Structure 1
Amino acid sequence: MTPDIRKIVTFEEEVFSEGFRKADTPWRLYAVAAVITNPWAGRFVEDLTPEIRAYGPILGEMLTERIVSLAGGGDAIEAYGKAGVVGTNGEIEHASALIHTLHFGNHYRNAVAAKSYLSFTNTRGPANAPISIPLMDKNDAGRRSHYLTIQFAIPDAPAPDEVVIVLGGASGGRPHHRIGDRYQDLKELGHDLDNPASV
């Protein structure tokens, strides 16, 4: 059982100036998307596990190889995330199923030597639906400079019976970030940094 891939789409943006000021070094954002046939389209399927386990490793490995190549290596990726967009003849659960599995995400996490979880969106929409990939620092979930969103769209995808599966990355945080990290807020609010839920 393998995913039926109609096409692969890549996105790349190189930013030279942000916030009315030139960036010290160009800031790169990139994404790789696979447009695949939704194996569960048009019907309710109780057990999604067989396709999740079959498709996850294939899509995870393929998209990871491509985004790492686009970035110039795993070390070049500081912020990362993922997204799934299901067509109108599918469920949000179908997009979730294909991205919320370690069979998929661990390929990317391992390739970039990450510690934090992959931030995500899972949505439903027609062809040319907005694809938003939230990013975070691959090693520090509290590092606000790397809270980013990549946005793009594919004019002919997803078709009603398709799912778009996406990985995103960035070479760094916002060039002129100046809102600090969440740790300062925790200190100001009197929280224990080792146990943020405590007061």
Structure 2
Amino acid sequence: MHIEIKKWFVQVESSPATENDGGADLHKVAIAAIVKNPFGCGAQQDLSAGIRASADVGAEMAERLARYMDPASVQSYGKAGLVGVAGEQEHANALLTTTFATPLRDALHGALAWIPSVTKVGGPACSIDVPLAHKNALYVRSHYDAMTVNLADAPRPDEIVLIFAVANRGRISARVGGLRAEDVVGADGLH
């Protein structure tokens, strides 16, 4: 199976750190691939061909991500999928599995934590909140965040929007305690 990419979309957000925060400015980037739904409109029991094919989309998405954000600076990530109304929610879930995410993890130097995700069915201009969490330790509360993505002309009924979002730090002025990002050992074994 081949997944046809119809369009790419990039959204960049920057929020200045506050005087009390003392950290770096918060930068978020979302990369979205608008693809023709490879499963068509009918229900299929076996989605494995789409799962396998999603690795190519993940690899291309990882390359594009590096153009907008230094992979070494990424601390949190998340993924999301929007399915056009002629498809079904399971179609997006099939394309967002580990197979899709492995090239993205590799580009982020072997991120360790589970990648939070969300999917839904909707039409053009439907927004979706991509959940974010620390890339190496899910329980870093300061990095529980989201990025709202909205595409004016997608998804059309026969499309799926695949989204991967990253951030360079946790929330501005986060202070709810718990495990701190600086105490997490990264994939390379360094703090």
Range class of TM-score, shorter chain: 0.7 to 0.9
Instruction: Give the partner amino acid of 1:139.
Output: N
* Matched position secondary structure for 1:110: helix
Task: Name the structure 2 match of 1:169.
Answer: 166
- Separation of aligned partners in 2, 1:23 and 1:41: 50
Instruction: Give the partner amino acid of 2:171.
Output: R
Task: Name the structure 1 match of 2:14.
Answer: 14
Task: Name the structure 2 match of 1:52.
Answer: 51
Deviation, structure 1 residue 51 = 2.1
Task: Name the structure 2 match of 1:69.
Answer: 67
- Is the contact between residue 16 and residue 22 of structure 1 (CA under 8 Å) also seen in structure 2? no
Query: How many aligned positions are there?
Result: 179
Structure possessing the higher radius of gyration over alpha carbons? 1
- Is the contact between residue 128 and residue 149 of structure 2 (CA under 8 Å) also seen in structure 1? yes
Q: Find out whether 1:97 has 2:91 as its counterpart.
A: no
Deviations 1:133-152 (A, max 9, x none): 10100111110000110002
Runs of 5+ consecutive residues of structure 2 not aligned to the other structure: 181-191
Deviations 1:32-77 (A, max 9, x none): 00001102232111211112212x11111011111132112x2110
- Is the contact between residue 39 and residue 50 of structure 2 (CA under 8 Å) also seen in structure 1? no
Say if 1:146 and 1:41 are closer, same or farther in 2 by CA, change over 3 A.
same
Instruction: Give the partner amino acid of 1:79.
Output: S
Q: How do 1:1-199 residues align onto structure 2 when only pairs under 5 Å count?
A: 1-17=1-17, 24-54=23-53, 56-72=54-70, 74-100=71-97, 102-112=98-108, 113-181=110-178
> Normalising by structure 2, what TM-score?
0.88
Runs of 5+ consecutive residues of structure 1 not aligned to the other structure: 184-199
* Matched position secondary structure for 1:25: coil
Instruction: Give the partner amino acid of 1:108.
Output: L
Say if 1:88 and 1:32 are closer, same or farther in 2 by CA, change over 3 A.
same
Deviations 1:100-150 (A, max 9, x none): 2x2211111122121101110011101111122101001111100001100
- Separation of aligned partners in 2, 1:91 and 1:8: 22
Deviation, structure 1 residue 22 = 7.0
Deviation, structure 1 residue 21 = 6.0
Q: CA RMSD in A?
A: 1.8
